[in-house]
Structure 1
């Protein structure tokens, strides 16, 4: 696990049915080989696009299966070896967090990271001999400084957020 580090990856989901009905246009393009994203300002053809570079990029023609195999699989392998792992999906409403994490049932290549990770972990447990496992998973939503456990039995429970006095500079 010594070569593991925090990776920042950008994923562009395909337009959904509503966006297609509204004739929305893509303003984002990617150079997936250079891990760069380019965002054009609509109606400003004279302005160069904003450019961002990441550790990985996945455009609309790439699948959740690809993203999982390249980004999440090594993390989950570490989890099966006893290390903690976190996937932090961040973005504005409608940006594709649920599309990536929960996925869609069809096509199978777009099944989400969470169901793939669960399958991976439980297949590893089934194959392990003379080993005990304790599996704990959290699926937290942080919205307007309210934290909810989306896997919890009581979805209405809001966890209190606190700041550590030393870290609140």
Structure 2
């Protein structure tokens, strides 16, 4: 069913550069109240979120608390989106990708892939087909990172049945977790990146990797859920593209929210 947008804050430890500059931690977190307090030269400032995680939180903990229910809903035919927002070097990639060599610190993306394929393989009385797509938004232009022509500019369209979609975006069948990772790696290699003081391979673009989970019931009816995994450029790069990406997500995600609400009401009416 449709849920509210949730905002989660995660604090990372100091990196080597910051330790070399004798930087100090200026953040305090209270998981019980979901509050973050910033301490600097002036008065402390406190902000409240849906959940907060300090630097000792693991990727496993964050996935189980936050993302697991979202992916379960996707398998049920709803739409979900996960994206990390923050300055370059703030830990977005660590949260999304994680460290595969340390089981507890594997990120959201590999866990979501495994979750989807395990759940669809063990669900009875249903057949599933999984597709993926990968697009990039750079300089207010949309490109297909997995398409034959990676330089072709794509357009956002609206259809009475399909709703809002990106015309010409290629779809790729995924039979297993490995294929999903291969497609993501292939698309990532085609993205615009550039060196910054904080990250030598910082993304200069926004991208959306979408997993489409299409399930066929015994009666032949089909339900489709979509998981959008969004990688935003560092927030310091968004002065020019911020309005475009904001308007894109508002329209794109609002449509999916309305679609999920209609699906939910339809299921409730059938039960009643």
Scaled by the length of structure 1, what TM-score is found?
Answer: 0.78
The 2-side partners of 1:58 and 1:78 are apart by 23
Length, aligned pairs only: 159
> Larger C-alpha radius of gyration, 1 or 2?
2
Aligned equivalents of 1:102, 1:88: Cα separation in 2? 12
Q: Structure 2 stretches of 5 or more lacking a match?
A: 146-182, 193-204, 208-243, 252-272
- 2:94 aligned with 1:99, yes or no? yes
Question: 2:37 matched to which residue of 1?
Answer: 38
User: If each structure's strand is expressed as a fraction of its own residues, which one has the higher value?
Assistant: 2
Matched, 1:82 2:77: yes
Structure 1 residues 108 and 27, CA gap change in structure 2 (3 angstroms): same
Distance 1:146 1:18, change over 3 A: farther
Q: Which runs of 5+ in 1 are unaligned?
A: none
- Measure the CA separation in 1 of the matches of 2:44 and 2:141: 34
C-alpha separation between the residues in 1 aligned to 2:15 and 2:30? Answer: 22
- Provide the alpha-carbon RMSD of the alignment: 3.0
Q: Is the 8 A contact 1:35 1:54 kept in 2?
A: yes
Q: CA deviation at 1:63?
A: 1.1
User: What SS class does the counterpart of residue 43 from structure 2 fall into?
Assistant: coil
Higher helix share: 2
Name which structure has the greater RCO, CA cutoff 8 Å, separation 6+. Answer: 2
Q: 1:110 to 1:145 in 2, by over 3 A?
A: farther
In the superposition, the TM-score normalised over structure 2's length comes to 0.51
